[in-house]
Amino acid sequence: MTILHLALAADWDTAQTAGEYRISTLGRTIEQEGFIHACADHHQLNGVVQRFYRNVTDPLVLLSIDPTRLDVRLETGGDSPETFPHIYGPLPITAVTSATPYTPA
């Protein structure tokens, strides 16, 4: 199983230097949010892109993540009954199996 996270390319560059990724979502750190938002599949990702990333002009990177040995919890969001994976704790860059440029459609 793989989970997905959409990152600003600049944040991913910083993570590669630091050895871990600490951004929860656009403009919020893991310390502010409590976890890192993720998607279970591309269907969920498309919904997140439409709701939150449609107007983002900064370069984006789609991270594919191996959740093995991470604290991942399936939880519902405040305004949606849909269950999303949330990563509790920083994301080690070694858990990212691929990082590919992403352009919202």
- Taking only the tens place, the pLDDT of each residue in 27-39 is 999 999 999 999 9
Pick the CATH number of 3-102 from 3.20.20.70, 3.40.50.11540, 3.40.605.10, 3.20.170.20: 3.20.170.20
Quick one: pLDDT band at residue 67, thresholds 50, 70, 90?
Answer: very high
Domain boundaries, the chain: 3-102
- Taking only the tens place, the pLDDT of each residue in 76-97 is 976 778 899 999 999 999 999 9
Q: Are 35 and 86 in contact (CB under 8 A)?
A: yes
Q: What is the pTM of this model?
A: 0.94
Distances 43 to 33, 49, 55, 74, 87 between C-alpha atoms, Å: 23, 10, 19, 16, 19
Spatial CA neighbour of 61 closest among 103, 17, 14: 103
